Amino acid sequence: MFNFVKIETHKFLNYYIIMVSYKELGLVNTREMFAKAIKGGYAIPAFNFNNMEQMQAIVQACVETSSPVIMQVSSGARKYANPTILRYMAQGAVEYAKELGKNIPIVLHLDHGDTFELCKDCVDMGFSSVMIDGSHLPYDENVALTKKVVEYAHKHDVTVEGELGVLAGVEDEVSAEHHTYTRPEDVEDFVKKTGVDSLAISIGTSHGANKFKPEQCTRNADGVLVPPELRFDILEEIEKRIPGFPIVLHGSSSVPQEYVHIINTHGGALKDAIGIPEEQLRRAAKSAVCKINIDSDSRLAMTAAVRLVLTDKPAEFDPRKYLGPAREEMKKLYMHKCEKVLGSAGKA
């Protein structure tokens, strides 16, 4: 019934873990989801989670809006929450969605996998999708590593996301104004040689809450900072070279200024927090972009809600009294993304 994987960690002692297929957990891979999203002109939300409140908020929001969803975990999340606990949380998410009355398609995805071993571990533990991010490597090494992951993952019907081009910002230790945009002339070769199911590209987004410096922005009539536009010309060129191929956008938080304001007026100190305007994400979602990654906005929603409660009710010390409102705020944010930005609402 069970498949055991032997992990040799010691000369004399062998450890075994139970291999699970994501299908046994009620999860789905991204194949059908992406095909429908490209045809329908919308994008699937890929929300990161690290804890129970985020998981619950994602499921509640996607059930209520009837949206398919990709729940993703980074290696940092695996370290923070423990890999086994996260896997059971994803399984719990599937059961929770049913309990809430809707069997929405849920993908459990590894975000920014950096080694073959990590990706293999996730496939063996029941992930239905993995990202191998070789974007920082020389091109040929990125191809070789990605191909190796694809070969293993596809044996288990797990889909794979690769990446070409370097996102500026925290991830790659390059400063916010330096991007290495994806070279459209590489994408066809990369997709053909590796067999990946989707491709993350770099067209001006970046990770975190400081995506642009104020000097890179202009001001609109209301005095609000407007960042430079994403490189839609590169996206269009990529679409021409690999028509209908699923494209992924990382670093797509919008950094809602309401949250930044609440945080900064309740003891916080966020400086120059600027994100991707929603209008540009709406435009991207209509194209071959079929997965949009959002993590920072959820962190901002949670932090704003917690700061509000702790400032306004300094005698409060029951975590449920601040994590509960934080969960409610994240749910509102996720619903907004599905309904008003990505267009995934009603597509489950």
Ligand X SMILES: O=C(CO)COP(=O)(O)O
Catalog residues that contact ligand X under the rule CB under 6 A: 48, 111-112, 207-208, 250-253, 293-297
Residue 27: partners with Cβ closer than 8 Å, 6 or more residues away: 90, 91, 94, 106, 107, 108, 126, 128
76 binds, among ligand G3H, Zn ion, ligand X, none (CB under 5 to 8 A by kind): ligand G3H
Q: Minimal distance in Å, beta carbon 141 to ligand G3H?
A: 21
Which residue in 54, 104, 111, 206 binds ligand G3H (CB under 6 A)? 111
In whole angstroms, how close is the CB of 297 to ligand X at the nearest point? 6
Torsion, Cα 141 145 146 152, to 10 degrees, reads 160
Q: Cβ 312 to ligand X, closest distance in Å? A: 27
Catalytic residue among 111, 121, 197, 297, which?
111
343: partner contacted, choices Zn ion, ligand X, ligand G3H, none (Cβ within 5-8 A by kind): none
- Count of residues of this chain found to bind ligand G3H when the rule CB under 6 A is applied: 8
Show the tokens assigned to 200. Answer: 């993350």
Which amino acid, one-letter code, is at 316? E
Is 146 one of the binding residues for Zn ion (CB under 5 A)? no
Among 87, 207, 291, 336, binds ligand G3H (CB under 6 A): 207
Residue 146: strand, helix, or coil? helix
What residue 133 binds from Zn ion, ligand G3H, ligand X, none (CB within 5 to 8 A, per partner kind)? Zn ion
In the numeric block, the tokens 């509960």 are attached to: 324
List residues forming the annotated binding site for Zn(2+): 112, 133, 163, 207, 250
Cα–Cα distance between 206 and 157 in angstroms, integer?
Answer: 30
Helix, strand, coil percentages (3-state) for the chain, rounded to 5, are: 45, 20, 35
Backbone angles phi, psi at 25, to 5 degrees: -90, -5
Count the site residues for Zn ion by CB under 5 A. 4
3 state DSSP class of 323:
helix
Q: Would you give the end-to-end CA distance of the chain in angstroms?
A: 31
CA distance 105 to 55: 15
Binding of ligand G3H by 295 (CB under 6 A): yes
* Partner residues linked to 203 by β-bridges: none
Distance of alpha carbon 231 from alpha carbon 276, whole angstroms: 12
Residues belonging to the binding site are: 112, 133, 163, 207, 250
Is residue 77 close enough to count as binding ligand G3H by CB under 6 A? yes
To which residue do tokens 């990505």 refer?
A: 342
- Contact between 211 and ligand G3H by CB under 6 A: the answer reads no
What are the φ/ψ torsions at residue 161 (nearest 5 degrees)? -105, 130
Between residues 162 and 251, which has the closer beta carbon with respect to ligand X? Answer: 251
User: Of the listed pieces 53-61, 119-127, 227-235, 244-252, which binds Zn ion according to CB under 5 A?
Assistant: 244-252
Look up residue 337 and give its two tokens.
Answer: 């993304």
Q: Rule CB under 6 A: say whether 78 interacts with ligand G3H.
A: no
**111 assigned to active site:** yes
* Contact set with Zn ion (CB under 5 A): 133, 135, 163, 250
* Contact set with ligand G3H (CB under 6 A): 48, 74, 76-77, 111-112, 207, 295
Report, as residue numbers or ranges, the catalytic residues: 111
